[in-house]
Amino acid sequence: MPDGVVNHVVIVGNGPAAHRLVQRLHHYGHRGTVTVLGDEHRPAYHRPLLTYALDGSVPAAALTLPPLPEPARVRLGVRVVAIDRRRQLVHTTSRAGTTALRYDTLVLATGAQPRVPDITGVRHHDRTLAPGVRSLRTLDDCAPFPGATVVVGGGVLGAEAAAALRRRGAEVLLVHDGPHPMHRHLDAEVGQLLARWLEELGVEVRGGRTVVAYEPGKSVLDDGSAVRTDNLLLCTGMRPETRLASAAGITVRTGVVVDAFLRTDDPRIHAIGDCAEPPAGSRGTVAAAWEQAEVLAALLTGHDARYEGTRAPVRPRLPGADLAFMGESRRPPGEREGTRTVTFTFTDRAGRRYARLTLEDHRVLGAVLFGLPEAAAAVGQWYAQGRPVPSDRLELLLGAAAVPRGEDELPGDAVLCHCNHVTKGELLRAWHACAGQWAALVETTHATTGCGTCKETVRGLCADASVRAAVQPPANVPEEVA
């Protein structure tokens, strides 16, 4: 085997990052064995879309990811309890007992675990959650919520969960310690638009408040008020799952520290996804996890690759709100290290539309958009590609600027569906394999099944491919004969 090519790869974790890594190892021709160890008893599923299962619009089975290519082996209900770096073993436990599994290369894809705030009454002495309290990390957490629900935390997940529960008909109170939901990402103008949208949906929003105590049936806020609580849903952030790495003596800061080749300080152990802390940021998104999986699969099969960060917009799953944000949108205008930074703002309070776009040398440095779905799609593509934007800024903000999408305009690795990390090349291959059938394309790739904002871009790409298929000569026919 060439240098850098490995035989037995063991992956700890069975989430989207691990699933993607196995797919890409197969794509790159990895001939060794791959063993995936998942502690849940169900097959891998698309965790970022959990709120669609929460609101009942998507059955749980629809989130299941496609079966992995052979000869990958997936062992469910298996928990890794220790790593023996010297002997290259992982020690596991399951209903069948304990065992040790040898690896040539070990990949940690252990994800993240919910942060549980210090609220009186939410935990038993053994650290398990009290009755009526849950977080939102697995499909089991999406079981129906009877009665009144208090959602603690107004970040992206908290806002998504509150809206999802309300769509299902629940009585929902969203308690958030910031001045408005998603205050770490959104300025006051768009934050107030989001709060108003949630309230009109039927979610009661209490900003600047925290829950300090809980008992079944009641929560107490920091202003002394008590609110009815049949369910307390904790959406108070995630922490990278690093305990295995730390116990094995691998360097951990916030996450498992890796270099641009996604290696820990043990060259036989790598980390990707929510548990990893690479030198280039963008941790905590499925786009970053899948791009890391792509890079690692290439490296483990002897190709040149390195992870240099991920540029992807964030589209909270709030159907009807049309919210998107990306990059740095709050940097003040001016010169910085030979670059020119400018910010454009568009506000339409009557129409509840808002856009803030920050450009650095004519490229999107950051943006926040609300109520502008076409602009969100356009700006998101320009940002992800890192290309100079059109000169007409208003046209761009209103979504009228042409979005690169055709076969000649975008590279094959351009990501068009960020929720499911589907590239242009993958879409075109699936389109041809599915004979241009839209339903089959969606079922095969899952493109457009997340936030839905990529639908027009994907349809446009397929339309371009259809035209080309109609006018190009048949394969293997000389041009002069055709």
- SS3 call for 482: coil
Least confident span in 142-156, 164-178, 195-209, 417-431: 417-431
Q: For residue 477, what pLDDT is reported?
A: 34
Residue, of 128 and 418, whose pLDDT is higher: 128
Least confident span in 63-77, 257-271, 421-435: 421-435
Contact criterion met (CB below 8 Å) for 453 and 312: no
Q: For residue 408, what pLDDT is reported?
A: 52
Instruction: Please indicate whether the domains covering 9-113+239-300 and 116-236 agree at the CATH topology level.
Output: yes
CA distance 270 to 200: 46
Q: pLDDT tens digit string along 287-338?
A: 899 899 999 999 999 999 999 998 888 999 999 899 999 987 655 555 555 5
Residue 209 pLDDT greater than 70, yes or no: yes
DSSP per position, 101-164: EE-SEEEE---EEE-----BTSB-TTSPBPTTEEESSSGGGGS---SEEEEE--SHHHHHHHHH
Tokens of 105: 């290369």
Q: pLDDT tens digit string along 252-282?
A: 999 999 999 999 999 999 999 999 999 976 5
Q: For residue 3, what pLDDT is reported?
A: 47
Q: For residue 244, what pLDDT is reported?
A: 98
- SS3 call for 235: coil
Percentage with pLDDT > 70 across the chain:
87
The mean of the pLDDT values for the chain is: 87
The top-level CATH class assigned to 9-113+239-300 is alpha beta
CATH code linked to domain 116-236: 3.50.50.60
Contact criterion met (CB below 8 Å) for 122 and 215: no
Q: pLDDT tens digit string along 173-204?
A: 999 999 999 999 999 999 999 999 999 999 99
The DSSP call for residue 62 is G
Confidence (pTM): 0.86
- For 64-67, which contacts have Cβ atoms below 8 Å and span 24 or more sequence positions? 65/16, 65/19, 67/43
Q: For residue 481, what pLDDT is reported?
A: 31
Residue, of 91 and 71, whose pLDDT is higher: 91
Q: For residue 389, what pLDDT is reported?
A: 85
Q: pLDDT tens digit string along 211-232?
A: 999 999 999 999 999 999 999 9
Residue 1 pLDDT greater than 70, yes or no: no
CATH code linked to domain 322-403: 3.30.390.30
Residue, of 31 and 93, whose pLDDT is higher: 93
Q: For residue 118, what pLDDT is reported?
A: 94
Q: For residue 180, what pLDDT is reported?
A: 96
Q: For residue 257, what pLDDT is reported?
A: 97
Residue 399 pLDDT greater than 80, yes or no: no
Domains of the chain, by residue range, sit at 9-113+239-300, 116-236, 322-403, 409-482
Q: pLDDT tens digit string along 436-446?
A: 787 777 777 77
